[in-house]
Amino acid sequence: MKFTNGYWMLRDEMTPVYAVEYAGKRIDGNELTLYAPGKHITDRGDCLNIGMLTIRLTSPQKDIIKVSICHFEGTDAPGPIAEVTDQKPVVEITEDEESIIYQSGDLKAVICKAPAAWEIVFYDGDRRLTDTGFRNMAHMNNRSTGKNYMLEQLAIDVDETIYGLGERFTPFVKNGQIVDMWNEDGGTASEITYKNIPFYITNKGYGILTDNEGDVSYEIGSEKVERVQFSVEGERLDYYVINGKTPKGTVQKYTELTGKPALPPEWSFGLWLTTSFTTNYDEETTSSFIDGMAQRDIPLHVFHFDCYWMEAYEWCNFQWDPAVFPDPAGMLKRYHDKGLHICVWINPYIGQKSPLFAEGKKGGYLLKKTDGSIFQTDLWQPGMALVDFTNPAAVDWYQGKLKMLLDMGVDCFKTDFGERVPVKDIVYADHSDPVKMHNYYTFLYNQAVFKLLQQERGEHEAVLFARSATVGGQQFPAHWGGDCSASYSSMAETIRGGLSLACAGFGFWSHDISGFEMTAPADIYKRWSAFGLLSSHSRLHGSSSYRVPWLFDEESCDVLRKFVKLKCALMPYLYRKAVESHEEGTPMLRPMILEFPKDRSCEPLDKQYMLGDQLLAAPIFKESGDVEYYLPEGEWINLLTRQKVTGGGWKKENHDYFSLPLMVRPNTILPIGGNKEVPDYDYTEGVTFALSEFSDGAEALCEIPDASGTIVARAEARREGSRITVKVSGCTCWKCCMISGEGTVGQEENQAVIELR
C-alpha cells in the first residue's frame, strides 16, 4: 500500500505522524521503551498538539529483536497472534551521550539520540544490516476513509536482494514487487497465493517477520526504491529482526522462533497416486490404476481419494458414497494388503445438504455472523458453512468425524482449502479479529487435523497434504503448491513458489506432477515426473483426467518407473535431510542462495535447486531436452550419467527423458540404499556409499537415520594424496565406490580404501 506521491510528497488524503527524534526512554528488565515525537522539539510549546510514537524493543531469543511501534495504546489489538517460542535471553542495554544500544547475542539495535535525527540501525556485530530513519517509521491517517495505518520502512542496501514472503509464483527475487498477505484460491499463475507468510530474508543474512496475521502490505523497493515498506491497518505494528548471519542460518532461526517442521513418516516420501478431481471412479477404477502400476513394475506407495469419495453436494459429510463404494472398510483392507497407505480429501467446510450441517448448527460448531446466524455461501458447496476452529468443542467434533475414518483404515488426510474465509460481519467463538483470522484460520485447521493424526497414529506417522498456510504452518507437513497448469511455464512458476516457500522453513513440499489443470502432452508428463520425484513429496494428480502414465505413452511408464526407483534408492540420503529439516528447520528443497550465499551468481536462480545440501537438480523445461544451469565451483558429478563437470559457471546440456542435471556436490558421501521398491526400509542394509570427487585433504561425513530420525550408522571419508579412506559403523552388508568409477576399492569389515586412478 502506497502512502506517498514520489519521495517528498504525501498523497493528498494522508496525514502522518513520523518518528522524528528521540525523546526519552524507560527500561523494565529486558524491555526498552523509546518515545519519538512527530516533530522536532525546539521549545516547550512544540510538545503540544502533536503525535508521538512509542517504540518497544524486546528479545524472545538470542540474535532476535522484536520492535513494537504504537500510536494509540488504548486501542485494542485483538488476536490471533502467531505462536512464538520465548527463550528469555540475556540482553544488554547500554547508553552514552550519542546513542542507546540494545543487544541480543550479536544482533544490536543502535538508537540515535541526536535532535531531529531519529534512527535505529541494526548490526550483526559491527556489520550493518539495515536501518529505519528519516520519514520511515510512521502512523498514517487516511482522512478520506478514516482508517489508520502503521508502517515501517527498512533500508535495502546496494546489491541486496529480498526473498520469501511465502509461496509466491512471481519472480523469485522480490525487489520491485508489491506483495499483500492475503490467502486466496487463485492457482499458480498470478500474484495471488495460498500460503502468505509475512517473513522475508535477504542475501545479507538477516530476515524480518511482521508479527501480524492480517493483510500486511509490502512495497519492496516499489514505493521507496531503497526501502522495504510494510504496513498494517490499526494503531500498532510489530516486527522481528532475525539475525542468522547467513540466509540459511536465518531460516533456521525463524523456525526456532515459529516452530520446526514435524518429521513425516518414511512411507510418505514415496509415490502418491490420486483419483484426480472430477473424474468418474469406483473401486474397480481405482483398483485398475493400482494393479496397472504393479503390472508395469512402477512402485506405488500411497493412494489418494479426492473429493468424490463423498456424495456430491455433501462435502464434507465424511461418509463414503454408498453408491460408489459399498464396502469402504473392505476396500481399504484390500489396498493395505497390497502395501499401500490411504489418503482421503477433506476440507473445513460443511455443505447444507450434509447431515453434519444440522449437527454443527445444533452444537454451535459453525462460524457465525454478528447477528447470531450461521455464515453461509454457495461458493464451492451449496449453502456451505465453516467449522469454527476457535471453539474447542468444534475442534473435538471435527476430529471425532475424522477419527472414524482413521479407525476404518485411512492413514492421512489431504487438507484442501482453508483460504475462503469471510471477514465481513463475522464473529468467532473466541472473538478473534476476523481480518486476522482470514489467514490464521488455516493454522488452526491444519493443527486440528495434524494433532489428531499424532494422537491416533503416533508422532512419527502423522502427515498431511495441505494447500493453505500461514506463519507456523511449517509445523504440519507436507504442503503442495496448488492448482498449476499442464505447461512448462506453469512448471517453472511452481518451482518459484516452492523456493519462496522454502525461505519460510517449509521443509516438505510437493506439487501436482504434470499440472492440475488441462492434460499435459507426454513430453511434459515425463519431464515433470523427474522434477516431481526429485521433490520431498511426489504426487500424480489432476483435475478432469487421470494421471496414470500409460494414458500418456508407454515411455512415460519407463520414465516414471526410473525416477520412482531412484527416489527409493536415495532414501538413506533423503530421510537424513528430512531429519535435518525437522531438527534444524532447513528445508529439503533449497534455493541455491541458501547453500551458496557467497556466490553472487546463485542469487537470482529460480529454475534449479539443491535437494538437501549435496544434490543439485536442474529440471528441464524444453521438449528438445536442452537445459542451461549454473554450477558453483568445484568438481561435480552427474549421478545419472556419471559425467564429471567442472563448476564455476553456466552449463548447456541436452538430456533425454531418463536424465537431467542431477549433480553430486564435491567432497560428498552419498548413501544409496539397497531397496528400489519402497521408501521405508532398513537404510543400513545393503547400502552403497558412493563418493563424489574429493580434493586432497578433504573430509566428509555421512549419517543414516532410522524411522524415528535417530542416527544409527555413519561413514567418514578422508582423502590423502591418491588414497581415500572410508570408515563405516552401524551398517550391515555395505559397499563403497566412486560415482565416477575412477578408483579401485579394497574393503574390510569396517573400512574401505580407494586408490584413485
Distant-in-sequence, close-in-space partners of 362: CB < 8 Å, separation ≥ 6: none
- DSSP one-letter string for 71-126: S-TTS---------------EEEEE-SSEEEEEETTEEEEEE-STT---EEEEETT
Q: What backbone torsions phi and psi does residue 120 show, to the nearest 5 degrees?
A: -125, 125
Q: What is the pLDDT of residue 77?
A: 82
Whether 582 and 697 have beta carbons less than 8 Å apart is answered as no
Residue 483 a catalytic site member? yes
Asked if 568 contacts 677 with a C-beta cutoff of 8 angstroms, the reply is yes
Q: Would you say the pTM of this structure is higher than 0.75?
A: yes
Three-class DSSP category at 548: coil
The sign of the dihedral angle between the CA atoms of 557, 560, 563, 568 is negative
Which residue reads 506521491 in cell numbers? 5
Q: What is the pLDDT of residue 76?
A: 83
pLDDT score, position 624: 98
Query: What per-residue confidence (pLDDT) applies to 558?
Result: 98
pLDDT, residue 75, reads: 86
pLDDT at 78: 87
> Which of 63, 419, 603, 606 is flagged as catalytic?
419
| Planar angle of CA 755, 756, 757, nearest 5 degrees | 120
Taking a C-beta distance cutoff of 8 angstroms, is the pair 390, 427 a contact?
Answer: no
- Using alpha carbons, select from 249, 261, 211, 243 the residue that is nearest to residue 61: 243
Can you list the domains of the chain with their CATH numbers?
4-204+206-243 (2.60.40.1760), 266-584 (3.20.20.80), 682-756 (2.60.40.1180)
Phi/psi at 566 (5° precision): -60, -45
- Which residues of the chain are under the pLDDT cut of 70? none
**Of 462, 451, 448, which Cα lies nearest the Cα of 418?**
448
Q: Is the Cβ–Cβ distance between 496 and 168 less than 8 Å?
A: yes
Selecting among 213, 416, 512, 595, the annotated active-site residue is 416
Q: Scanning the structure block, which residue is given the C-alpha cell 580434493?
A: 695
pLDDT value at residue 7: 86
Active site annotation includes 419: yes
The cell numbers describing 122, all together, are 541494526
pLDDT the model gives residue 174: 98
Catalytic annotation, pick one of 238, 306, 433, 483? 483
The backbone torsions φ and ψ at residue 237, rounded to the nearest 5 degrees and listed phi first, read -140, 130
DSSP 3-state of 748: coil
Active site residue 311: no
Query: Do 164 and 38 form a contact (C-beta atoms < 8 A)?
Result: no
CA 566 to chain centre: 24
Between vectors from CA 348 to CA 512 and to CA 453, what angle results, nearest 5°?
75
* 486 contacts 440 by C-beta, under 8 angstroms: no
Q: Is the dihedral of CA 683, 688, 692, 697 positive or negative?
A: positive
- 179 membership: H or E segment, kind and range: strand 178-180
By the 10 Å C-beta count (0-12 exposed, 13-18 middle, 19+ buried), 133 is classed as: middle
Q: Give φ, ψ of 565 to 5 degrees.
A: -70, -35
> Are residues 676 and 568 in contact, defined by beta-carbon separation less than 8 angstroms?
yes
Reference 528, options 540, 538, 514; nearest CA is 514
Alpha-carbon span 8 to 390, nearest angstrom: 45
CA 415, 421, 426, 428 dihedral sign is positive
Do 203 and 503 touch, CB atoms closer than 8 A? no
